């Protein structure tokens, strides 16, 4: 009996490992075919502590998964069962190779180990029940687009749940018979295994040996079949998610957009050759190995999809489906990608068609539809929620870069914005002389830089295009300037020397214009001696702080809410006049998720007497976009419900007197939606959207309560 069990077990193991090994080799070759990305490896060498922290918090600690408590706990139980029940498979291996009554001393005889094994196996079974309930409850057949599993391969998920269940029941069957046969060394400590042996009491020793051998082979066989299924399915993430976490980007927040890379090096536009260099991603082989790893790691959980503002307002963009469609295309084209030149010449036209060799990446009949690509607001909700750290925005942005810079294919209205940036240095095409008009509207002196910062200047106030040129944003600019003046903070502005940071161009995909504007601004900032900068626009803040270092601009940059909160804390600004209003705060994406600034705007409102704050149900790291990011501010929103309307509907649920925010783009988008609601009679006539700084200046100066604001 022992010999037969051994031969069957070894033969099955050999076949399964051969099949799994073949697939792993295929995946290795596919990943190697991607473009180089040396920075990913260098960062691991530079920051081993960060890597350990990532593995402990993201992989072992399940930090992102546990944000969704019930599903997170269920997943944590199943994952830890995967780790801890490896000791049971060690036990099975010893029994297979050396006999059913053989055990490793201590490891397979110490009671507490058996207790832990049984407990985690039962928790795993409970987790499977939770998963099954979630799958039924959130079935795409029932909920359609409202289901986060819409578009996922749900059949494969059920197969995996069934296979994990098989692991659990075969374990208890094998160990139950083992206990009845007198071979369970843990005794009653392995309480459920001990209990599982009760039905087998009284059977003959011969029968128990047969059943124990069958149970052993079944338990091992399930694992081997599971292994083959895993490496050929989305559950490959079991093995490669730790790698994806290891090689992820590591900014505090989402940070900067990646510079354009070609062959593993930053692209030099002056020396670039369109025939030799990679301008964004125009075909699947243009993606880096990390991009291909992202695609293979996707778990199809749909958390990104459930949080995406585009998807939630009826648009075709699902971050999950972007990754899945790229993955399916990569796998289809893989035989061609990993083939040698000689092998490629032997492929027939029919084979090339099947491998999607000539299928365009972005197009009406391409892998990614243009409407999908241009629906993205770069809000970062997808990246924030992804439990395996897939970088959706980077991939969308790289595909945009190819479309804009090589194909010249992008929404027509965005072309006007680009021309204005190139010719006038701002998206609206206004004269640079208008950048200082707001200064004439304040009753104190605002120092304007001429050749260098005036002596004693603590901060350069980066006003930004919206802050200088857009009427609603100019109110924020004047409020911040006056607050700094009251607090005794010495600051200066660049006036006409200031140009757009280039954020709209970069997020659209026109990297060349971003580089042009960025280098111009860095040169100006360095010439005037700027060291510390305060910005009111989160997009400017993010670009100055996180992206200008890529082009030689290293500055200490703060957002105005950070500086104002600090001044209030120090007692240099004192809110005194009560503002008896119910206020709900909208988190700007580029301030919140991109830079983790959630606390300071709320701290400011908390210091204003009389203010009652109420959060919208989607706030902080789950905040909902206003719809302006990713250069969407300058594109028409023609598909589905307007994102800003959806956000204002959420705000109205709190019955606010005022909606506050900390971004000029959000001011415009939310303000427009509020005005629409007023015209419809769905919002108070007095309701308005204001910057946090405007609330603070009202309280500090003791201004009268606001008057009704007419809809524009």
**What single string gives the DSSP state of each residue in 168-213?**
HHHHHHHHHHHHHTT--TTGGGSHHHHHHTGGGTT--HHHHHHHHH
Per-residue pLDDT averaged across 138-163, rounded?
Answer: 92
What pLDDT is stored for residue 36 in this prediction? 94
Residue 69 burial (C-beta neighbours within 10 Å; 0-12, 13-18, 19+) = exposed
Q: Report the C-alpha gap between 522 and 417 in whole angstroms.
A: 22
What pLDDT is stored for residue 566 in this prediction? 97
55 secondary structure, DSSP code: I
What pLDDT is stored for residue 704 in this prediction? 53
Do 654 and 584 meet the contact criterion of CB atoms below 8 Å apart?
Answer: yes
- Write down the mean pLDDT value for the chain: 92
pLDDT (tens digit per residue) in 51-78: 888 889 888 898 888 888 899 999 999 9
CA nearest neighbour of 624 among 587, 590, 595? 587
pLDDT band at 498 (very low <50, low <70, confident <90, very high): very high
Lowest mean pLDDT among 217-221, 268-272, 306-310, 574-578: 268-272
Do 588 and 576 meet the contact criterion of CB atoms below 8 Å apart?
Answer: no
For 559, the 3-state DSSP assignment is strand
pLDDT band at 3 (very low <50, low <70, confident <90, very high): confident
For 299, the 3-state DSSP assignment is coil
pLDDT (tens digit per residue) in 455-495: 999 999 999 999 999 999 999 999 999 999 999 999 999 99
pLDDT band at 708 (very low <50, low <70, confident <90, very high): very low
Q: Report the C-alpha gap between 24 and 16 in whole angstroms.
A: 12
CA 373 to chain centre: 16
pLDDT (tens digit per residue) in 544-562: 999 999 999 999 999 999 9
Per-residue pLDDT averaged across 134-142, rounded?
Answer: 92
Q: Does residue 693 or residue 53 have the better pLDDT?
A: 693
What pLDDT is stored for residue 255 in this prediction? 83
What pLDDT is stored for residue 1 in this prediction? 64
β-pair type (688-691, 459-462): unpaired
Lowest mean pLDDT among 70-84, 266-280, 689-703: 266-280
What pLDDT is stored for residue 712 in this prediction? 43
Is the pLDDT score of 2 beyond 80?
no
Q: Does residue 629 or residue 707 have the better pLDDT?
A: 629
Strand order in the sheet with 532-535: 491-492, 459-462, 532-535, 556-559
Q: Report the C-alpha gap between 690 and 169 in whole angstroms.
A: 60
What pLDDT is stored for residue 711 in this prediction? 41
The helix (run of H) or strand (run of E) holding residue 606 is helix 599-607
What pLDDT is stored for residue 633 in this prediction? 94
pLDDT (tens digit per residue) in 307-340: 999 999 999 999 999 999 999 999 999 999 999 9
CA nearest neighbour of 535 among 572, 509, 503? 503
Is the pLDDT score of 8 beyond 90?
no
Do 460 and 532 meet the contact criterion of CB atoms below 8 Å apart?
Answer: yes
Q: Report the C-alpha gap between 121 and 81 in whole angstroms.
A: 6
Residue 626 burial (C-beta neighbours within 10 Å; 0-12, 13-18, 19+) = buried
CA nearest neighbour of 235 among 96, 309, 131, 95? 131
pLDDT band at 273 (very low <50, low <70, confident <90, very high): confident
For 491, the 3-state DSSP assignment is strand
What pLDDT is stored for residue 588 in this prediction? 97
CA angle (577, 578, 582) in 5-degree steps: 145
Q: What are phi and psi of 557, to 5 degrees?
A: -115, 135
Identify the structural domains of the chain with CATH numbers, from first to last. 2-32+64-142+149-246 (1.20.950), 261-409 (1.10.1060), 419-568 (3.40.50), 572-701 (3.40.50)
Query: How many other CB atoms are there within 10 angstroms of residue 320's CB atom?
Result: 28
DSSP bridge partners of 493: 448
What pLDDT is stored for residue 635 in this prediction? 93
For 582, the 3-state DSSP assignment is strand
Share of the chain above pLDDT 70, in %: 98
**What single string gives the DSSP state of each residue in 436-478?**
GGGGGGSSS---B-SSSPPTT--EEEE--HHHHHSHHHHHHHH
Lowest mean pLDDT among 4-13, 112-121, 408-417: 4-13
Do 113 and 194 meet the contact criterion of CB atoms below 8 Å apart?
Answer: no
What pLDDT is stored for residue 654 in this prediction? 95
Dihedral of CA atoms 616, 620, 621, 624 in degrees, nearest 10, equals 40
Q: Report the C-alpha gap between 104 and 91 in whole angstroms.
A: 8
The helix (run of H) or strand (run of E) holding residue 399 is helix 392-405
Per-residue pLDDT averaged across 505-514, rounded?
Answer: 96
Is the pLDDT score of 90 beyond 90?
no
pLDDT band at 710 (very low <50, low <70, confident <90, very high): very low
């Amino acid at each position: 009996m022992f010999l037969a069990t051994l031969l069957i077990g070894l033969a099955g193991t050999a076949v399964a490992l051969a099949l799994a090994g073949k697939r792993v080799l295929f995946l290795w070759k596919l990943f190697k075919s991607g473009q180089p990305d040396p920075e990913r490896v260098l960062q691991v060498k530079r920051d081993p502590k960060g890597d350990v922290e990532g593995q402990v918090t993201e992989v072992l600690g399940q930090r992102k998964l546990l944000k969704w408590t019930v599903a997170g706990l269920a997943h944590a139980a199943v994952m830890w069962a995967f780790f801890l029940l490896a000791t049971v498979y060690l036990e099975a291996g010893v029994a297979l190779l050396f006999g059913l009554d053989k055990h490793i001393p201590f490891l397979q005889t110490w009671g507490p180990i058996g207790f832990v094994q049984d407990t985690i196996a039962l928790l795993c079974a409970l987790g499977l029940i939770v998963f099954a309930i979630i799958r039924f409850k959130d079935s795409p057949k029932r909920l359609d687009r409202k289901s986060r599993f819409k578009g996922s391969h749900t059949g494969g998920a059920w197969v995996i749940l069934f296979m994990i269940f098989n692991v659990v029941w075969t374990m208890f069957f094998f160990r139950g018979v083992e206990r009845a046969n007198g071979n369970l060394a843990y005794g009653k400590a392995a309480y459920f295994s001990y209990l599982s042996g009760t039905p087998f009491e009284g059977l003959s020793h011969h029968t128990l040996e047969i059943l124990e051998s069958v149970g052993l082979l079944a338990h091992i066989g399930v694992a081997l079949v599971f292994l083959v299924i895993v490496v050929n399915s989305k559950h490959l993430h079991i093995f490669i998610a730790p790698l994806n976490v290891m090689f992820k980007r590591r900014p505090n927040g989402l940070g900067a957009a990646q510079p354009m890379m070609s062959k593993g090096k930053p692209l030099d536009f002056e020396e670039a050759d369109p025939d030799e260099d990679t301008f964004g991603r125009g075909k699947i082989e243009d993606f880096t190995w990390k991009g291909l790893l992202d695609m293979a790691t996707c778990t199809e959980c749909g958390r990104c999809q459930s949080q995406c503002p585009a998807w939630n307002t009826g648009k075709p963009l699902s971050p999950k489906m972007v990754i899945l469609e790229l993955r399916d295309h990569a796998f289809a084209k893989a035989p061609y990608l990993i083939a040698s030149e000689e092998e490629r010449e032997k492929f027939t036209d029919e084979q090339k068609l099947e491998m999607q060799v000539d299928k365009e990446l972005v197009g009406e009949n391409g892998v990614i539809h243009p409407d999908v690509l241009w629906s993205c607001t770069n809000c970062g909700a997808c990246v924030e929620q992804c439990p395996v750290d897939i970088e959706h925005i980077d991939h969308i942005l790289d595909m945009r870069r190819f479309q804009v810079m090589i194909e010249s294919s992008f929404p027509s209205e965005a072309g006007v914005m680009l021309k204005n940036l190139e010719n006038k240095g701002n998206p609206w095409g206004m004269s640079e002389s208008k950048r200082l008009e707001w200064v004439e509207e304040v009753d104190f002196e605002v120092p304007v830089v001429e050749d260098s910062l005036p002596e004693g200047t603590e901060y350069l106030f980066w006003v930004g295009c919206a802050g200088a040129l857009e009427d609603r944003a100019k109110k924020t600019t004047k409020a911040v300037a006056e607050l700094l003046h009251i607090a005794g903070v010495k600051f200066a502005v660049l006036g006409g020397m200031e140009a757009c940071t280039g954020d709209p161009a970069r997020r659209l995909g026109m990297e060349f214009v971003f580089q042009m504007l960025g280098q111009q601004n860095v040169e100006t900032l360095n010439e005037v001696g700027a060291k510390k900068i305060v910005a009111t626009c989160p997009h400017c803040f993010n670009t100055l702080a996180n992206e200008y270092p890529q082009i030689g601009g290293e500055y200490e940059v703060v957002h105005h809410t950070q500086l104002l909160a600090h001044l209030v804390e120090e007692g240099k600004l004192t809110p005194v006049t009560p503002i008896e209003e119910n206020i709900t705060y909208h988190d700007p994406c580029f301030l919140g998720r991109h830079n983790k600034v959630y606390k300071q705007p709320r701290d400011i409102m908390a210091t204003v007497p009389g203010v009652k704050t109420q959060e919208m149900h989607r706030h902080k790291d789950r905040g909902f976009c206003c719809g302006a990011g990713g250069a969407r501010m300058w594109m028409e929103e023609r598909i589905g419900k307007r994102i800003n309307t959806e956000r204002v509907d959420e705000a109205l649920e709190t019955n606010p007197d005022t909606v506050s925010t900390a971004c000029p783009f959000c001011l415009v988008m939310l303000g427009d939606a509020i005005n629409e609601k007023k015209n419809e009679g769905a919002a108070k006539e007095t309701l308005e959207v204001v910057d946090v700084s405007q609330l603070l200046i009202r309280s500090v100066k003791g201004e009268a309560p606001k008057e009704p604001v007419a809809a524009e």
